Amino acid sequence: MNQEFEIGPVRVGGGPLFLIAGPCVIESEKHVRTMAETIQRITSDLRVPYIFKASYDKANRTSVKSFRGPGLVEGTAILRRLAEATGLPVLTDVHEPAHCEIAAEGVDVLQIPAFLCRQTDLLAAAGRTGRAINVKKGQFVAPWDMRHAVEKVGSTGNTRVFLTERGASFGYNNLVVDMRSLAVMRGFAPVVFDGTHSVQIPSGANGVSGGQPEFIPLLARAAVAAGVDGIFLEVHDNPAEAKSDGANALDVTNLKALLETLLGIHAAARAPVHA
């Protein structure tokens, strides 16, 4: 596997199973602070390394009427204050090359959305910030072709890059997860599994995306057994009222039990095999 590195206290690649979690979008400063602190208490109790995530702008919503977030400047400031208050590493999406330097002032990880994983200028701009880069595998991209995304970031001299699997398009409004992709991509970068977007039903609910959150635990268990380095979950305290991706979010009340199960599977998967 290529290039292990650290994001603050979180080791990416070959270390303990780590978690990236938070609401899809910044709904308010109070809400992201509450979510970060709630998840932080759970992960601290379980000793799970944790990176908080939330987006300042969801530029790829299905409908023009959908909530997008507070925007680059205000959103980055909110995330910066959250990081200072909690001590957590923080991740956010970037959608345009010009946003990368500004967003990097407030966060530790820049995330390239799945739809944009082939955008060379965006990958290069993100890489030049020196921040860790999470590239989500496009729903339309073969796992072995994600090597090119890693190389695009690496061309800037930044080797702190990892990949996230979030399902592949299967016909219209449906995603499937090929667990083989986790092993393929882990051959050239650390790999995270996105258990919530993988159960999304893209654009399948009257101008918004639907979801099947009942399958989050099943797919997350399978991915950890397959050897991923981390788990990505969009988590909310009231998914039914979430302003983005609530249909496929994990209710925070279910997080601790899921993590306990995943930790057990991770330990078993990493245990040496004796003849």
| Per-residue pLDDT at 27 | 95
Note whether residue 254 is domain-resident.
Answer: yes
Note whether residue 263 is domain-resident.
Answer: yes
Q: What is the pLDDT of residues 177-216, one digit of tens each?
A: 999 999 999 999 999 999 999 988 876 555 556 778 899 9
Q: What is the pLDDT of residues 90-147, one digit of tens each?
A: 999 999 999 999 999 999 999 999 999 999 999 999 999 999 999 999 999 999 999 9
**Burial classification of residue 30, based on how many CB atoms lie within 10 Å of its CB (0-12 exposed, 13-18 middle, 19 or more buried):** exposed
The token pair at 127 is: 């890489």
Note whether residue 26 is domain-resident.
Answer: yes
Lowest mean pLDDT among 25-39, 70-84, 120-134, 242-256: 242-256
Note whether residue 275 is domain-resident.
Answer: no
Which residues face 19 on adjacent strands?
A: 50, 231
Q: How many domains does the chain have?
A: 1
Q: How far apart are CA 110 and CA 164, in angstroms?
A: 13
| Per-residue pLDDT at 211 | 74
Q: Is the pLDDT of residue 1 over 50?
A: no
Which residues face 165 on adjacent strands?
A: 193
Note whether residue 149 is domain-resident.
Answer: yes
Core vs surface per residue 225-242: b (16+ CB within 10 A) or e:
ebebbbbbbbbbbebeeb
Q: What is the CATH number of the domain that holds 100?
A: 3.20.20.70
pLDDT tier, 172 (very low <50, low <70, confident <90, very high otherwise): confident
pLDDT tier, 67 (very low <50, low <70, confident <90, very high otherwise): confident
Note whether residue 168 is domain-resident.
Answer: yes
Domain residue limits at 160 = 5-270
Q: How distant, in Å, are the alpha carbons of 94, 114, 139, 201 from that of 171?
A: 27, 17, 11, 11
Instruction: Give ∠ CA 238-222-109 in degrees, rounded to 5.
Output: 60
Which of the pair, 205 or 71, is modelled with greater confidence? Answer: 71
